[in-house]
Structure formats: structure tokens, C-alpha cells
Chain A
Amino acid sequence: MTMSKKIDSILEKYPPKVKKNRMKHIVVKGKNEKDEIEANTRTMPGIISNRGCCFAGCKGVVLGPLRDVVHIVHGPVGCSYYTWGTRRHKGRSKDGESNFLSYCFTTDMQESDIVFGGEKRLRKAVKEAYELFKPEAITISSTCPVGLIGDDIQAVAKEAEEEFGIQVMAFNCEGYKGVSQSAGHHIANNVLMQDVIGTGDAETKTYAINILGEYNIGGDGWEISRILGKIGYHIVSVMTGDGTYKELKSAHKADLNLVQCHRSINYIAEMIEIKYGTPWLKVNFIGIESTINTLRNVAKYFGDEVLIQRTEEVIAEELTSIQEAMDMYKKMCEGKTALLFVGGSRAHHYQGLLKELGIETVMAGYEFGHRDDYEGRDVIPYIKMDADSRNIPDLHVTKDEKNYRLYLSPEKLEALKKEMPLSRYDGMIKEMKNGSYVIDDLNHFESEELLKSLKPSLFCSGIKDKYVAQKMGIFSKQLHSYDYSGPYAGFKGAVIFAKDVSMGMNTPTWGFITPLWKQEPLLQGEVMEEVATC
């Protein structure tokens, strides 16, 4: 059966309404003139989606990694509890710096707070947090019931800010807003842009950059920083893996923003460019070729011959150090196929690395990517905003006359844009092979059916999918948590990824699934047949 027929047969099993909806979220690359996909629309009730909520996108993803901030979750206990230590954004504090990453703070709302309002409890909680920890700043994230009962968390934050003299930021990221984690990214971006970025005045050195949308899962950000540091860049801030509020305040002073995860941070990238003039470059530090391309692009942006030279030296050095290991792992992976289903960026970023190991991606999808993540930013003007996302506020910024500056002339920038993805992202689909599949908001049913019919060697997804695939005898690599390994970014990360994937696909246990006595009866069957023909 061809891939296309396999997908059709999956869709046929749906009731008509579901089929009609799901069809639009599935694209065969190259089948139509335009690879247009429907994305960022509401989840079908009961479909068993992998998606999370707005709160997870705001507090869990963007805010949580800021390690010198006390993040208070205003709600019943669950939301804070489930974002406590489960996403592996690592953080390491230097002497004297605060680090609250191993803590979980909540107002633990009770029935009486729902009935009489929770502002009083929140006010007290902020005060207690301030007095106990004296953090650089405090964030308040709201959860589902907060919006419904009308607690004014903005007012509480403002009051507390005046009382304690530190910044207290409120995020209206109730779980029901938008249709996925994506709305939460946007909400977090807005507040950080409006209230934090631009308020600091840290000294910056030459080749000053920010790394945006890099959350230091399993130490990814550290490997990226190691390479960039070796070449000679000065990292002003990271958003937000191992990041600090303190550094974030001076993010407007960098000369270039590197955007790793487009989905979660493109809002800030765009707003910084409008307000302060700093352009952003779409980068990818996953995979060797992508990392090399990225490093060359960054060097070219700064245009300094010494820097360009140094970049090549570092690339050569790094390549030498990993070549032997990569060759060995490639032998173990060559010829295998993979399905990729990850949040809003990794399903694209990992395809190159897999290819370098000889693994072909036959299907890829995002939980909550928008059309621009699939099709490229050129489609943004054509994206229809639907009712479910309309209430996510757009923040409009204007040029900051005092701090606006251009590192390169507009002409030079225009010229560079032709050579590299400066303030541009072309999306996942363009880089995929014709005939491969792109599926948005893949659900449990579709995953199960695809795994059964395509029988890939590797399913890269999350914790909820992992054991489903493995029960079928298919190795599943978590590309959110890295199965508690990492880093996977940069040169060293590529080797660790290669090792983990080789190990997982080739572990001896796969050979033990069928017990001997289930293999033996085959012989018996033959005997019986002979008897029958007698």
C-alpha cells in the first residue's frame, strides 16, 4: 500500500465530521501545488490529542526556566505541581545568584477562594514569597478558575510591586485560552517584552548576541554557548534556558538575535527588531550541518574576517573530535525510518540530524505549530485568525528613539537576507522529501495506525506516546525530555543523540518479545496440516 493509501484508510475509519476536520491537518509533501495545512485550530473533543494548555506554554515553557525569579502559580495545586521538575530546563547559578529551579510555588486555592475570590490569598502569598526569598522578581501565572472567578492578578501584581520595590509580573495564561500551549508563549512574550526587555543597562562587548527560544533542555543551551564562546561571541541573554531576569533586562543591547525555537519566541524577536532595530536570524543547532550553517551565517552577519576565520577553525576542530563516533553510530542507524511528532519546532530541527545518521523522516508533525512553522513566514498575511485565538492580545511596539540602533546598514541587511534566513523562517515542509507526510495535532488513533502500517524503526515523540510505540516493539525516543539524557544540540550533542538512538534501536530486548513457545507452535501447525491432507 502506498503512503497515500495508508493515510486514506486511516481517515476512512473516522466518523464523517472528524474525517472532514482531520483531512485538512494532513499534507502529502508535493502532492498539491501548495503544501497548505490547517494548524493552530481547536482540538477535537475526545480525539486524544497530545496537546497541553496555555498555562503550560506560558509558565511551563517560557517563564519557568528563569532561575532567579520566584514563579507563583495562582490556582489549585495541580498546575504548579505538574510543572515542578518535569521539563528539564537546566540552570546553574554562580555564587551569590539565586536559583529557584528546584522549588514549586502555589497559592493552592481552596473552595473558599473559588467562592469568595482568591486575590486575598494571592496577595498574602506574594508577600510571603518576597519575605522568604527576596528574589530579583516574581511572576504570577493564572490557571483556569482564576479568569472565571474574576481575580484581578494584574492589580495584585501592581500593588505588590509598589510595596516591595521589585518587579512583579502577572500573566493571564488561563489554561482554556487559545487552543494549545502556543497561546501561552504569546502571552509570556508580551509581558517580557513590555516590562522586562529594555529596562537594563548591562555593559556589552563586541559580537553581542542573544539566544532566543532555547530552553537548555538537558544542557542544550550550554553546548551552544560553549561553541559560540569558543568562537568569541558575547552572549547577553538566553531566552530562557538557564536564563535570568537580570540578563533579560539588557537583551535590547545585543547586535543579533539567534532564534532557535521560532514558535515560542518569534513574537519577541519581531518586537525587538521593530523597537530596537536588532534583526533576528533563524538558527538551528541540532545536527552537524545545521550547526555549521548557523555558525557561518552568524559570522557572516558580523562580517569580521578574524571571526569568520575563527569560526572555520572551531568547526574543523569540533568535526575532528566527533567524526569517528558519528561514523560508528551511522553504521548502526543507516537505512532506518523515523516518525517525528514534537511540540512546535523540534519535528523540523531534528530531520537534518537524523539524515546525517542515515535515518529517513517519513512523517513529521507539530502539536501546536502555526502555518508559518509548517509553510514559512510568507504565509503569515494569509493566516485567518479564528474565534479561539482572537482573544490572545497582540502587543504593538514602536521604535524606541533612544535605544534604536542598526548594527548593519539597511542595504547590507537586505543583501544578507538573500544569503541567510535573516528575520525569516521558511518552515518545515520545504525541507522535507516529496511524498513524506506532515500531520498537525496528531492524535492517539492516528499514531497507533501509522505505527502499525509504517512500522518505522524510530518514533520521536513525547512521554505519552513512548510506551504505546514500545509495546509494539518500536523504539520511541522522547524529543521533549530526551529520555533524561542530553545535550542533543551542537557537535557534542549530535554524538550523544546518535549514541542514544543507536542504543535504543539496537538494544537486545527487542529480540525477546516473542517467547520460544510462541515460535515453536509453527512447527506443530505444519504437522497438523499434513495430518489434515492425509
Chain B
Amino acid sequence: MLDHTSREITERKALVINPAKTCQPIGAMYAALGIHNCLPHSHGSQGCCSFHRMHLTRHFRDPIVASTSSFTEGASVFGGGANLKTSIKNVFSIYKPDVIAVNTTCLSETIGDDIPTIIKDSEVPQGKHVFHANTPSYAGSHVTGFSNMVKAMVTYFSQGKGDGSNKKVNIIPGYTEPGDMRELKRIAKLMEISHILFPDTSGVVDSPMTGKYRMYPKGGTKVGELMDTGNSMATVAVGRFASEAAANELEKKCKVDAHVLNLPIGVKATDEFIMELVKITGKDVPYKLEEERGQLVDIMTDTHHHYHGKKVAIFGDPDHVIAMTEFTLSLGMKPIYVVTGTPGTSFEKEVNAMLENAYVEGRVKSSGDLFELHQWIKNEPVDLLIGNTYGKYIARAEDIPLVRFGFPNLDRAVHSYFPIVGYKGAMRLIEMIGNALLDRADRDAADEDFELVL
């Protein structure tokens, strides 16, 4: 497995090997699925759309439907206006969504198609919406694409003066699983906070089996709610890379205060999320949440010997990785390699500061790839790998346990149904991390050291 990865590290300036990111439009497609009755549309040649649908389908094991402009060579040279107009017409008459969310690909971005003008010239039925985000694949990553599409929701839909007239708090959940979005809503509900969570893929990409296929499942933020986000008291955006742009746009457009936080993964980040909600709304924290928090700290204390001091490599999307680094530190672990494929200098700064504070010497890299991470591991091994499915190649090559975390998870099921955010999510992560390490310890123990109780 990965036999050609050498221990010796040579500098690479052009060749990326085994990337720790993918391209923008898939993130935009995922965000668009978080709007009720919305069909994502990919303005490019159809290969992109197929790839993105396939990848999301494999991750969620649920239907992921999106349309495409299906560029041909002619359109690629002379512009894709006609293709998009035909698409809009066909989609509304055949598939009848309320909203079409257009994303772009490297093709339509390179030729410079002017999407707003094309949409303006298109036949959009009364009461229906077409909106767009520019998502050039040659900039940023899928997380950037998600961020751009969420920002576009604000640009197109949000209305109001940010006077808090709807007595609601906006929550932007970042590029997380539907299980996480459900958990954020549960926390808000426990605190008796009215909220608008957007986008919201719960009930869309984790829809139930009923014997009837619904092209537009029950879930998703409704357009009316998106419009109403401008009347909220504040926006809490979790995960800077995925959510900050939309929150800032909403502040600029409708004067709704933006509160940007890390993803609430682990005890500290969840505390901060809840405190922010308290500060905004003046609500009390209910005993239920206090109980959950206490249970979490209890578990952390009971199990600290399972993972304390273990060296860990973490890779994936920046918001997830930043939050996970903090959480592993709070467990007493040593995150010595921390990598994201997504570019952005703030990532390295933030993670390095965390490591310094904890006196952990580690390597941190944005725009990194899994080939280099593997080389680092060859030079100094780790006890645990935390990252997406692609980590399984390294895990096998170096015989390291892997905790599947983040996007995509293509080889295990059920992950999208349960949270990793909040106190509940942290408990689940501890179980995953602990089990991975203990299963390995059991496997490796000599018979005489094989313990019944651990």
C-alpha cells in the first residue's frame, strides 16, 4: 500500500499527490441541498455535476439530485448562456423546484459567463427563484464553494434591518453533517431560542425510507426563512472558513451582528457556542445542557488514560481540523501533525497558537496533501490518525488506527445521522477515539497482558 511514498521528503512546487481537499462546486451543491424544494444546478460541462452527485451520494447513501448545463465544445467557446437558459426552462417545467441554485465550474468561470445577466434573461415562473454563486474550482476548495453558496443565499434572499423583530437568532452550521445540524437546533431549542438555521440539510440527505421517493424531501431551510434572516437579532456562524463570509455579508446587507466562532466540537468550543447564545439572547442555560456537559467532563475524566499523551495526526477541512485539534488537546493528546488541503494562512496561525499554548511540538500545514503527511508519519509515527476515508491508505500502510472524521466518509455508514458537535457529539468522538485505540491495544496485547477490564 502506497509503496512509492518515500521517507525522504523533497520539496514539491507543482505536483499535488493525494489531495486533502476537492473543488468548490461540490460544496456549493451541498449547501444548496440545505434549501427546501431547491435543485442545485451546475453550470459547466456535465462531468463535474456527475462527479459531485456521485461523491455526495456515496457519502450520504441517499439520493443527491442536481442538474447541469451540459456544455459542449461550442458552448465552451461561444459562452454558455443558451445552455443555462434552456436548463432553467427545462428544470422548472420537468422537475418543478421552488428554487434553482446555480454554481459554476472552472469551465464557465474561465470563459467568464455572466450568470446574473443570463438569469435575468431567463424564464423564471412567478414565485420561483433562481440564484447563483460563482464557484471557480481553481480557487480555494470545496469549503470555499460551500461558503460562497451560503453567502449567495444572503445576497439573494435576506431582507430586513437587523432589528431583531423576528426575535430569532440565525445559525450558520458550517460544512457539517445533517446530524450536526440537528444537534445545533436541539441545543437552541433546549435554550428556548427561536432560530433560523441555514443551510439545513437535515431531512434532505438523511431522509427516511417510506416507500415513496421525494425528489425534494421534507427538510431544508425555507425561502421565507432565508428572507427573514435579515430581521434576526444576530447571526452565530460556526466554522470560519465555511460560514464567516455569509455572516459578514448579512451584517453588511441587513445589519445583523455577526458572531463567528469555531465549530462547537469538544467541551471548550461548545461552551463558547452556548455562551454566545446566552450573551445574544439573555437566556439561561437549561439544566439539561448542564447535565450533558457534566456527563461529558465525567467521561473525559474516567477515560483520560485511554488516550492521554497519544500522538495524533489530524487532516481534513480547516474548520473541522481546527476544532478537532483543540478537542484532542483538551483530552491530553498530542496532535503533532495537522493538515488541511484548503488554502488560508489563518489556519496555520490558529493551530500553531493552540499547539504552542499546550507545549506540543507539531507540524501544521494548509494547502498540504496526504502524500506529505504520510512522509511525516514515516519519519515520526503517530498512534492515531483522524481524518476522512482517504486516510485509510496511510492507516493501512503504516498500521495506524483511523478515526473517520469529516468529509467524505465513503466506506462507513451511519456517520451522517449522529452529531460530532455539542456535548453529545463530543461524547461520541471520545467513544470513537477510545475504541479505536483500545481495539488496537487488544489486538497487539500478548495473551498474558490481555485485559478484561480497561
Give the B-binding residues of A (Cβ under 8 A): 13-15, 18, 42-56, 72, 75-82, 84-86, 98-100, 102-111, 113-114, 121-125, 128-129, 131-133, 143-145, 147-149, 174-179, 387-388, 391, 444-445, 448, 451, 462-464, 466-473, 509, 513-514
Given A51-B50, A148-B110, A464-B53, A448-B215 contact (CB < 8 Å): yes
Would you give the shortest CB distance from A453 to chain B, in whole angstroms? Answer: 13
Q: Is the CB of B90 within 8 A of A53?
A: no
**Which residues of chain A have C-beta atoms less than 8 A from B23's C-beta?**
76-78, 81
Contact A144 B76, beta carbon cutoff 8 Å = yes
Report yes or no: B13 in contact with A124, Cβ–Cβ below 8 A.
yes
Of chain B, the residue at the smallest CB distance from A147 is B76
B185 within 8 Å of A by Cβ?
Answer: no
Contacts of B57 in A (CB 8 A): 463-464, 466-467
Distance (Å) between the CB of A137 and the closest chain B CB? 15
B134 CB-CB contact with A under 8 Å: no
Q: Give chain A nearest CB distance to B128 CB in angstroms.
A: 14
Tell me the bound Cα distance from A41 to B107 in angstroms: 21
Contact of B89 among A46, A78, A103 (CB under 8 A): A46
> Which of B16, B46, B93, B214 is A51 in contact with, Cβ under 8 Å?
B46
Closest chain-A Cβ to B49's Cβ sits at a distance in Å of 9
17 A-B pairs whose Cβ atoms sit less than 8 Å apart in the complex: A51-B50, A72-B15, A76-B137, A77-B21, A77-B22, A77-B341, A78-B25, A98-B4, A111-B138, A128-B13, A128-B15, A144-B45, A388-B72, A448-B215, A471-B63, A509-B209, A513-B211
**Across-interface contacts of B299 in A (CB, < 8 A):** none
- Name the distance in Å between A203's Cβ and chain B's nearest Cβ: 28
* CB nearest to A44 among chain B residues: B90
Which residues of chain B have C-beta atoms less than 8 A from A43's C-beta?
A: 46, 70
A467 lies within 8 A of B106 (CB): no
What's the least CB distance linking B315 to chain A, in Å?
14
- Chain B residue with the shortest CB-CB distance to A120: B14
Most chain A CB neighbours (cut-off 10 Å) among B6, B48, B91, B371: B48
In the complex, which residue of chain A has the Cβ closest to the Cβ of B213? A471
User: Complex: how many Å from CA A78 to CA B28?
Assistant: 13
Q: Within residues 79 to 96 of chain B, which ones have a CB less than 8 A from any CB in chain A?
A: 83-84, 86-91, 93-95
B54 touches A86 (CB 8 A): yes
- A186 to nearest B CB, angstroms? 14
Out of B76, B138, B211, which one reaches A109, CB within 8 Å? B138
Contact at B68–A45, with CB atoms within 8 Å? yes
Collect the chain A residues with CB atoms within 8 Å of residue B378's CB. none
Q: Which residues of A contact B66 (CB under 8 A)?
A: 48
A462 to B73, CA, bound (A): 26
* Interface residue ranges of B352-411 to A (CB < 8 Å): 371, 390, 393
Q: What is the bound-complex CA distance between A99 and B44, given in angstroms?
A: 33
Q: How far is the CB of A513 from chain B (nearest CB, A)?
A: 4
Residues of chain A with a CB closer than 8 A to B279's CB: none
**Complex contact B211–A56 (CB within 8 A):** no
Which A residues lie within 8 Å of B55 (CB)?
82, 86
CA of A23 to CA of B72 in the docked complex: distance in angstroms? 22
What chain A residues lie within 8 Å of B18 (beta carbons)? 84, 103-104
**Bound form: Cα–Cα A445–B58 in Å:** 21
Q: Is the CB of B50 within 8 A of A50?
A: yes
Does the CB pair B70–A42 fall under 8 Å? yes
Across-interface contacts of A144 in B (CB, < 8 A): 44-45, 76, 105-107, 110
Residues of chain A within 8 A of B212, CB atoms compared: 471-472
B207 at the binding interface (Cβ < 8 Å): yes
Given known pairs A78-B26, A145-B106, the reply for A42 and B72 (CB within 8 Å) is: yes
CA distance A106 to B12 in the complex (A): 12
B199 within 8 A of A: no
Q: How far is the CA of A440 from the CA of B215 in the complex (A)?
A: 22
Q: Which of chain A's residues has its CB closest to B138's CB? A: A76
B280 at the interface (CB under 8 A from A): no
Q: Does B17 contact A (CB under 8 A)?
A: yes
> How far, in whole Å, are A81 and B84 apart by their CA atoms in the complex?
26
B213 near A468 with CB under 8 A, answer: yes
List chain A residues, Cβ under 8 A from B44.
144, 175
Contacts of B2 in A (CB 8 A): 102-103
Interface residues of B in 12-47 (CB under 8 A from A): 12-19, 21-23, 25-26, 41, 44-47
* Measured CA separation A106–B14 after assembly (Å): 8
Binding site for A on B (CB under 8 A): 1-4, 6, 10, 12-19, 21-23, 25-26, 41, 44-48, 50-55, 57-58, 61-76, 83-84, 86-91, 93-95, 105-107, 109-111, 136-139, 141, 207, 209-215, 341, 371, 390, 393
Q: Looking at the complex, which one of A77, A123, A387 makes contact with B19 (CB distance below 8 Å)?
A: A77
In the A-B complex, the 5 residue pairs with the closest CB atoms: A53-B47, A78-B23, A46-B87, A124-B14, A46-B90
- Cross-chain contact A471 with B209 (CB below 8 angstroms): yes
Partner among B1, B73, B138, B139 whose Cβ is within 8 Å of the Cβ of A177: B73
Task: Say yes or no: A52-B46 contact (C-beta < 8 A), given A42-B70, A81-B22, A110-B139.
Answer: yes
Chain B residues with CB under 8 Å of A509's CB are: 209
- Given A175-B47, A176-B73, A467-B63, A46–B88 Cβ distance below 8 Å? yes
Q: Tell me the smallest distance from the CB of A74 to a CB of chain B, in Å.
A: 10
Provide the residues of chain B in CB contact with A48, threshold 8 Å: 65-68, 95
A145-B106, A468-B213 known; 7 other A-B pairs, CB under 8 Å? A44-B86, A45-B83, A46-B91, A52-B46, A105-B17, A132-B4, A388-B74
Q: A14-B94, A467-B63 are in contact. Are A448 and B213 (CB under 8 A)?
A: yes
* Cα distance A18–B63 in the bound complex, in angstroms: 24
- Interchain CB contact under 8 A, A49 and B46: yes
Contacting residue for B45 out of A84, A103, A175, CB 8 A: A175
- Complex Cα distance, B209 from A473, in Å, reads 8
| Chain B contacts for A129, CB-based, 8 A | 15
Question: Is A145 in contact with B211, judged by CB distance below 8 angstroms?
Answer: no
Known contacts A148-B76, A468-B213, A471-B212; A46 and B138 CB within 8 A of each other: no
Contact between A122 and B14, CB atoms less than 8 A apart:
yes
Q: Which residues of A contact B46 (CB under 8 A)?
A: 43, 49, 51-53
Chain A residues with Cβ under 8 A from B3's Cβ? 99
Docked complex Cα distance between A129 and B371 (Å): 12
Q: Which residue in A44, A107, A470 is a CB contact (below 8 Å) of B15?
A: A107
Chain B residues with CB below 8 A from A131, complex form: 10
* Chain B: minimal CB distance from A277 (Å): 36
Which listed residue, B68, B69, B86, B138, touches A114 by the CB 8 Å rule? B138
User: Which of the residues A13, A52, A110, A121 comes within 8 Å of B94, measured between beta carbons?
Assistant: A13
Task: Tell whether, in the assembled complex, residue B76 and residue A472 are in contact, meaning their CB atoms are under 8 Å apart.
Answer: no
Shortest A125–chain B CB gap in Å is 4
Q: Is the CB of A445 within 8 A of B45?
A: no
A132 CA / B64 CA spacing, docked (Å): 39
- Does A105 contact B16, Cβ atoms closer than 8 Å? yes
- Provide the bound-state CA to CA distance between A81 and B68, in Å: 20
Would B64 and A464 count as touching, CB distance under 8 A?
yes
Are B95 and A463 interface neighbours, CB within 8 A? no
Query: In the complex, which residues of chain B have a beta carbon less than 8 angstroms from the beta carbon of A80?
Result: 19
Contacts of B50 on A, CB cut-off 8 Å?
Answer: 50-53, 56, 464
Q: Are B111 and A148 in contact (CB under 8 A)?
A: yes
Task: Say whether B47 contacts A52, CB under 8 Å.
Answer: yes
For B214, the chain A residues whose CB sits under 8 A away are 471
* Complex-state Cα separation, A56 to B74, whole angstroms: 19
Q: Which residue of B lies closest to A184 (CB)?
A: B47
**Cβ–Cβ contact A124 & B15, under 8 A:** yes
**Nearest Cβ on chain A to B24's Cβ, whole angstroms:** 8
Identify which of A18, A79, A100, A513 contacts B210 (C-beta below 8 A).
A513
